Amino acid sequence: MAASHRIQPFYHFGLFLHLFALTLASSSNVEEVNAFLTYYDQHVGDIYFSRATAQWNYVTNITDENSQKVVDADVAASGFIIDAYVNASRFDAASFSADIQRQLKFIKDVENYALAVEDEDKFRTLTDILAKLSRNYGSGEVCKTNGECLALEPGLQEIMATSKDWDELVWAWKGWRDEVGRANRPLYIDYVDLKNEAAKILGFSDTSEQWRAHYETETIADDAKALYEEILPLYKQLHAYVRRRLKKVYGDNVDLKSALPSNILGDMWGRFWGKIYDVVEPYPDATSVDVTSQLIEQGYTALEMFNLSDSFFVSLGLKPMPELFWAKSMITKPTDGRTVVCHPTAWDFYNRVDFRIKMCTEIHMHHFLVIHHEMGHIQYYLQYAPLPYVYHDGANGAFHEAVGEVLSTSVATPKHLKKIGLLDIEDTDYKTDINFLLKQSLDVIGTLPFSYMIDQWRWGVFAGDITPEKYTEEWWKMKLDLVGVVPPVPREEKDLDATALLHIVVDYPFLRYFLRTIIQFQFYEAMCNASGHQGPLHKCDFYESKEAGKLLGDMLKLGRSKPWPEAMEAITGQREMSAKPLLQYFEPLREWLEEENKRNDEFIGWEKTWRPYDTSSGTRFVPLFATFVMLLLVNQLVVAE
């Protein structure tokens, strides 16, 4: 695709850098490297601002014209990024300070753009494949026999969250995967080959090694495995309890000694279990910890929920949201006919003043907490804004996600909800505490094995240990072994259920979501201690604690200028990831689950031979293909959930 007139100026940046590089070949001169880094910092913001603007305009107004502008901006950025890579590679990094070495390392970490170094056609091919993967995902619709077709959001997701009809859930679950996975399968095979080529250009054996290298520790795979094994006993207790409750609803479609069918866990992927709380609530007669009704009764608007969240950050002595945030964010779904991507995301426009959230906010507790999570990302952006652009990111991928989650964890406590007038109780009793912890566990403990498994599969795919003819078979084998879930209907090799998940089709590493859940409780414990909290960890709310805010803010200011163990030490006093605070938080629930499961003589764990389709006999539907809706490039976004 030829470059259009809109992007020619950016190639001038690349040309200037390329000429600049000729004078710096194999240089170890400090003045020269500083001149290069200064030039890079002065211009990279312009490049990324243009790309972020094109992406924003597209996802807030999905048109073919805006889609083309995204591609143009990405191609334009590639010229600058690759020339910067060439420049940075010419320096003898070992002769410079640790800070300069770190900046050069990040400039050379060009991901997919590495293909353009050796073969621009391959880079364009990979870009096109990613666009097609996203289009297939975005255009997916499942059609009923009466001709009504449902997109993922809100139609199919609403079914997965609210329906208790087994056949309807199977129809939506299977239809989505038939529609998206089968179309994406050949594209994904080619994607893997090209991703690995890019990784090898940068000196890695494959993409899995490259992704793990982002954590700057050779033991990250072993560390993650140890953390998974540490939380597994609690997960198995929750799994057994949830299984019995679901059997009461779905009968023979659930087996009390086996894995859970993945279509009955509350969302399209069985990732977050929070939507099935009404089925698994321990004490329905206790005080509800869901304040959705209060938000509605008190007449809250989306803007008022955002303002309430902003006041939380200010109470900690952190930065308020700037004027441009309020002027340019999309916090509700437009009513002017535009088609938009509603998935909540936080945006940095790389000019140190423009930060936004895109979200189709609805008035319920879940979105109230999501708002705090997304604004946590914005707070991170604000805090590290003064640093060189090369340091504008979290200490590692998990840190950005953990910051948002730690704030939501405090906000969700009954203590905080009472303070802000959304819960009318003086204190919680035992039953309310168990209800609260169980509700929290569905989206915290319930998702951990899911998050761990995703990149275990992708690492195997990238390394060649899982070959294309085994993609689907190994996907479900890992689901069974690591997560304890099974498909509700048989899967075939022509399927590729992995690509029914957004993060896989948009080339976004997933280990961060597993690790973020671990470290969010390390952050939470540290901030609770700083606030002077006494008592059980799950009752802590650090609202209005300037001490807790300073502890967090000082860490956020580091961006990724230091290796993550140093950032971890800055807030927690330790340099390693640990599941101990998480397990401490849920300790009362663990004790309750063990007693409840023992009382019911539950089988803890899951046998691996049973499948729901061996006994169920519901009607199955085959969906139809639909038209293009979405292209989402997220390599400059935080996908925050």
Which tokens is 200 given?
Answer: 């090898």
Q: Strand 345-348 vs strand 260-261: parallel, antiparallel, or unpaired?
A: unpaired
Q: What percent of the chain has pLDDT over 70?
A: 91
pLDDT of 426 reads 67
Residue 634, CA atoms < 13 Å, CB-side half-sphere: 20
Which tokens is 490 given?
Answer: 């048989």
Out of 374, 401, 405, 474, the active site residue is: 374
Closest C-alpha to 265, from 255, 250, 275, 251? 275
Average pLDDT along the chain: 87
Give strand pairing partners of 347: 356
64 C-beta neighbours (distance < 10 Å), count = 10
pLDDT digits (tens, 9 = 90+) for 500-553: 988 898 888 999 999 999 999 999 999 999 999 999 999 999 999 999 999 999
pLDDT of 626 reads 33
Q: Strand 485-486 vs strand 260-261: parallel, antiparallel, or unpaired?
A: parallel
Closest C-alpha to 519, from 564, 453, 455, 458? 564
Burial of 80 (0-12, 13-18, 19+ CB in 10 A): buried
pLDDT band at 634 (very low <50, low <70, confident <90, very high): very low
pLDDT of 128 reads 83
Closest C-alpha to 393, from 402, 401, 382, 384? 384
> Under a CB-based contact definition with an 8 Å cutoff, are residues 207 and 196 in contact?
yes
> Under a CB-based contact definition with an 8 Å cutoff, are residues 216 and 394 in contact?
no
Q: How far apart are CA 133 and CA 139, in angstroms?
A: 10
Out of 43, 400, 503, 533, the active site residue is: 503
pLDDT of 641 reads 52
265 C-beta neighbours (distance < 10 Å), count = 25
> Under a CB-based contact definition with an 8 Å cutoff, are residues 314 and 379 in contact?
no
Q: How far apart are CA 437 and CA 37, in angstroms?
A: 49
442 CB contacts (<8 Å, ≥6 apart)? Answer: 238, 242, 266, 272, 273, 274, 276, 277, 280
Which tokens is 604 given?
Answer: 């803890």
The H or E element containing residue 419 is helix 414-419
pLDDT digits (tens, 9 = 90+) for 429-459: 899 899 999 999 999 999 999 999 999 999 9
pLDDT of 24 reads 45
pLDDT digits (tens, 9 = 90+) for 134-166: 878 877 888 888 878 888 877 898 899 999 999
Whether pLDDT at 617 is above 80: no
pLDDT of 2 reads 29
Q: Catalytic site residue 474?
A: no
Which whole number is the average pLDDT over 115-142? 82
pLDDT of 588 reads 96
Burial of 278 (0-12, 13-18, 19+ CB in 10 A): exposed
Q: Catalytic site residue 503?
A: yes
Whether pLDDT at 16 is above 50: no
Distances (CA, A) of 106 to 63, 393, 582: 34, 11, 32
pLDDT band at 629 (very low <50, low <70, confident <90, very high): very low
pTM, full prediction: 0.86
